[in-house]
Every structure is written in C-alpha cells, then in structure tokens.
Amino acid sequence: MPNPFNVKPSNSNNFGAYRDAYKMFSQSKNPMQLFMNMASKNPNMQPIINMIQNSGNPQMVFNQLCQQRGINPQEFLKSITG
C-alpha cells in the first residue's frame, strides 16, 4: 500500500515503522504536537506541516493527500493498524 505522505521508512516493505508511529500517536496526550515535533525534523514534511497549519484539520489533509495519490485512506490505515 503506498504511503500518502510519500515518506518511507528505511525498509519500505516493512510497515513496522508505520505501526510504531500509529501506536505513539494513539497513546499520546497531544498527538498534534507530537506530529509537529517529528515532522519539523524532516524537511520533506514541510509541505504537510504547511497544509495542516493552513487548514487546521489533519484528517482532512490526510484524506486530501490520499485522494491526490489515488490511495484509499481507510485501506491505508487498515494496513498499518492491523
């Protein structure tokens, strides 16, 4: 399943990194701040940060990115959450 953010872990065939990130976000008390801190360390994430700051709705940004890349967001999430 393609990654809508187009950011790949070192082994793109291993969804373990995605699952670990999903777990961190789901257990975080402030997932948006966690995402912004992680994303700010990766220059490839700057367009996504800008989109979130402009729209204020991360779910909408995620769905838009999926649509732009022809990815079903529910299928992608299902693939990383198990």
What is the average per-residue pLDDT within 27-52? 81
pLDDT at 32: 80
Q: Which domain holds residue 36?
A: 16-81
Kindly state whether residue 27 falls inside one of the protein's structural domains. Answer: yes
DSSP state of 4: T
pLDDT digits (tens, 9 = 90+) for 12-29: 555 677 777 778 888 888
Q: What CA–CA distances, in Å, run from 23 to 30, 31, 81?
A: 13, 10, 8
Farthest-apart Cα atoms in the chain, separation: 32
pLDDT at 7 over 80: no
pLDDT at 73 over 80: yes
Kindly state whether residue 24 falls inside one of the protein's structural domains. Answer: yes
Model confidence band, residue 70 (pLDDT cutoffs 50, 70, 90): very high
pLDDT at 72: 92
> How many domains are there within the chain?
1
